Structure 1
Amino acid sequence: MRKIIAAFDGLRYSSSTRDFAIHFCKETNAHLVGVFLDDIMRTSYRISDAVSGEGTTDNRLGKLNKKDQRMREASSADFAIKVKEEGLSFSIHHDYNVAIRELLHETMYADMLVIDGHETLTNYAEPVPTDFIRDLLSNAQCPVVVVPVQFKPVSKLIWLFDGQPTSVHAMKMFCYVLPEFTGYPVEVITVKAAGKPAYMNDHKLVREWLKRHCPKAAFTVLKGDAETAITQYLKSVKEQPLVILGAYRRNTVSRWFRPSMADNLIRNLKLPVFIAHNK
């Protein structure tokens, strides 16, 4: 049985993370862990809320902290109720120290992480993907699925392939972690510059390997700039795809999937994105 973890800010609970995680676990019979990042420095209020108003500062602060605790308890309870309704094996972790450090440690002992691309673990809104997500993706020790704010069941897989080890590693990890999903329609997309032959790099080796995992995979070669061509193509896909790509590292990255490419997919397409890198 695999272990899938879903990360939550209990003060800004993501029902999308919950529903995607449940979806993946139902399909794979995986054990689901709700990781609630109850960082002691994270509050729903600002300092100004505690130092202004009626009563003493200590009283106001006590009331605000109790309100936060109730919110966290309600989030955790909702997670437990929804997962029980689906009959899944699950557990809940409450991590109280620095959120990013705690979550990265959790990824060492997980097969996959699910998280909302809007998570900040602060009171401030940030462009998607947030600084928290960028840091997580650069250092996670397991594949990460970054999900949009609205849940829709996955009905298709799209693998972005550029012939580099990072993109191949991502598809390998997907097949190992979520083999049940390889029965879904699979499309392999590559991009060639204008004037270049319209075939994939290592196409014989790719087909030979993929035939053992996704024997009915279809192959699409796009022309032009990779970022533009892929974005436009994905916008035209009618199914609900899960996009698989493989480079979110601080140092060497795949020639296509520099952070701006992954960021663009997460920010503009509102699709779940499976990201795995080999360090």
Structure 2
Amino acid sequence: MRKILLIFNGKSAANLLSFGCYIAGVVKGRLLGLFPEEIEYDESPRRIVTSTASQSGITDIGPAVETNHTNDIQADIRRFQQMCERKGIHASVHNGSRFTIADLADESRFADLIIVDATPRKGFLTESVHERIVKELVSAAECPVIIAPASFEPVEEVVFWYNRSASAAFAMKEFAYIFSFSDDIKATVALTLNDGDDDTGDTHAVREWLSRYYEYGDVVILKEHQEKTLFDYLLRKKKVLVVTGAHGRAALRRFFQHSQTDLQLKTLPFPLLITHH
């Protein structure tokens, strides 16, 4: 892997930087830091924040927000450069400051991976705006995307969500091709089935695939209410990275709709890698 886009658009910049350096070390990649003042999709987040504040009776948010945000960005850039130099990671800073989702999609065309923060920067983007931007980016990106959690520990297990779709199988293979974790990493395929489905053929094929790439591999069968059962299983895990395929916005939205735990992007407890097929 040669090019990783690290997009600093959240409040956990120090954690995102640590996670980005960790992934760059695993895949021997180069980091390109993007420090946007604003990311626009169909409506400017800045205008949404201003409109929301106005409706709440707040009339003076401009200069203070702008100044604080600019200072935060400059501090993040210095921290990025210093840590990458200290860890011996090749890194550079993108000279852009304002991006649309289309701009970021163009940047991703010849990138190998995007890493983006799950949590918005306090006082700049509302949680709903930030979450919408991240989901739009995942849908538009032309390379795999990792949504980094608010905090993380070094990965000890990779969990592949396999629902027997071509997209899920592609995600598994794509991950195995580009990520070179240590030999003691555990790989688990969470095979989600509907009641009455025969899992014999899938289980055999998946175990055979696992044996070619991982020293420690396992298959777990999950049935009934696939997304709900999957999250019940994942929330008991520690130090995992979850890999899934996605067919655009609708698939990602279903992934986060979990009636019992109400899991949202801001509370994501593990890194989530999403690929397109």
TM-score bracket, shorter-length normalisation = 0.7 to 0.9
Q: Comparing 69-78 with 118-127, which one deviates more in the overlay?
A: 118-127
Cα-to-partner distance string for 1:40-59 (whole Å, 9 max, x where unaligned):
977699598xx869xxxxxx
- In the superposition, the TM-score normalised over structure 2's length comes to 0.80
- Asked if 2 retains the 8 angstrom alpha-carbon contact of 1:114 and 1:145, the reply is yes
1:148 maps to a residue whose letter is: P
Q: Does 1:218 align with 2:218?
A: yes
2:80 is matched with 79
Shift, 1:235, TM fit: 1.5
3-state SS of paired residue (2:181): helix
1:100 maps to a residue whose letter is: I
- Asked if 1 retains the 8 angstrom alpha-carbon contact of 2:12 and 2:121, the reply is no
Q: Does 1:132 align with 2:126?
A: no
2:37 maps to a residue whose letter is: D
3-state SS of paired residue (2:212): coil
Q: Comparing 136-145 with 119-128, which one deviates more in the overlay?
A: 119-128
User: For the residues of structure 1 that align with 2:174 and 2:6, how far apart are their CA atoms?
Assistant: 18
User: For the residues of structure 2 that align with 1:156 and 1:96, how far apart are their CA atoms?
Assistant: 36
Shift, 1:129, TM fit: 7.2
- Segments of 5+ residues of structure 1 without an aligned counterpart are 54-59, 252-256
Shift, 1:246, TM fit: 0.4
3-state SS of paired residue (1:118): coil
Shift, 1:258, TM fit: 5.5
Q: Using a 3 Å threshold, how does the CA distance of structure 1 residues 95 and 101 change in structure 2: closer, same or farther?
A: farther
**Aligned partner (choices 245, 253, 259) of residue 253 of structure 2:** 259
2:150 maps to a residue whose letter is: V
1:205 is matched with 205
Q: Does 1:25 align with 2:19?
A: no
Q: Comparing 91-100 with 240-249, which one deviates more in the overlay?
A: 91-100
Please identify the structure whose Cα radius of gyration is greater: 1
Shift, 1:244, TM fit: 0.5
Give the superposed CA RMSD: 3.3
1:89 maps to a residue whose letter is: H
Q: Using a 3 Å threshold, how does the CA distance of structure 1 residues 201 and 16 change in structure 2: closer, same or farther?
A: farther
Q: Using a 3 Å threshold, how does the CA distance of structure 1 residues 258 and 140 change in structure 2: closer, same or farther?
A: closer
1:80 maps to a residue whose letter is: Q
- Asked if 1 retains the 8 angstrom alpha-carbon contact of 2:46 and 2:125, the reply is no
Q: Using a 3 Å threshold, how does the CA distance of structure 1 residues 173 and 129 change in structure 2: closer, same or farther?
A: farther
User: For the residues of structure 1 that align with 2:221 and 2:186, how far apart are their CA atoms?
Assistant: 17
Give the 5 Å matches for 1:110-149: 110-119=111-120, 123-127=124-128, 130-149=131-150
Q: Using a 3 Å threshold, how does the CA distance of structure 1 residues 111 and 247 change in structure 2: closer, same or farther?
A: same
Q: Comparing 36-45 with 183-192, which one deviates more in the overlay?
A: 36-45
3-state SS of paired residue (1:243): strand
User: For the residues of structure 1 that align with 2:122 and 2:138, how far apart are their CA atoms?
Assistant: 15
Shift, 1:195, TM fit: 4.7
1:4 is matched with 4
Cα-to-partner distance string for 1:121-177 (whole Å, 9 max, x where unaligned):
993422497110111111101000001111322111000111110001111111122
User: For the residues of structure 2 that align with 1:129 and 1:68, how far apart are their CA atoms?
Assistant: 15
3-state SS of paired residue (1:180): coil
Q: Using a 3 Å threshold, how does the CA distance of structure 1 residues 173 and 275 change in structure 2: closer, same or farther?
A: same
Cα-to-partner distance string for 1:182-218 (whole Å, 9 max, x where unaligned):
7510111112334544x35533333333322224311
User: For the residues of structure 1 that align with 2:173 and 2:122, how far apart are their CA atoms?
Assistant: 31
- Asked if 2 retains the 8 angstrom alpha-carbon contact of 1:39 and 1:95, the reply is no
Q: Comparing 89-98 with 177-186, which one deviates more in the overlay?
A: 177-186
User: For the residues of structure 2 that align with 1:68 and 1:157, how far apart are their CA atoms?
Assistant: 35
Cα-to-partner distance string for 1:65-103 (whole Å, 9 max, x where unaligned):
555433321111111112222111111113233342332
3-state SS of paired residue (2:7): strand
User: For the residues of structure 1 that align with 2:77 and 2:234, how far apart are their CA atoms?
Assistant: 35
- Asked if 2 retains the 8 angstrom alpha-carbon contact of 1:37 and 1:99, the reply is no
* Identity within the alignment, %: 25
Cα-to-partner distance string for 1:205-252 (whole Å, 9 max, x where unaligned):
333333222243111112322122111111222x3100000014147x
Shift, 1:180, TM fit: 2.9
- In the superposition, the TM-score normalised over structure 1's length comes to 0.80
2:71 is matched with 70
User: For the residues of structure 2 that align with 1:217 and 1:274, how far apart are their CA atoms?
Assistant: 19
2:23 maps to a residue whose letter is: F
User: For the residues of structure 2 that align with 1:70 and 1:38, how far apart are their CA atoms?
Assistant: 11
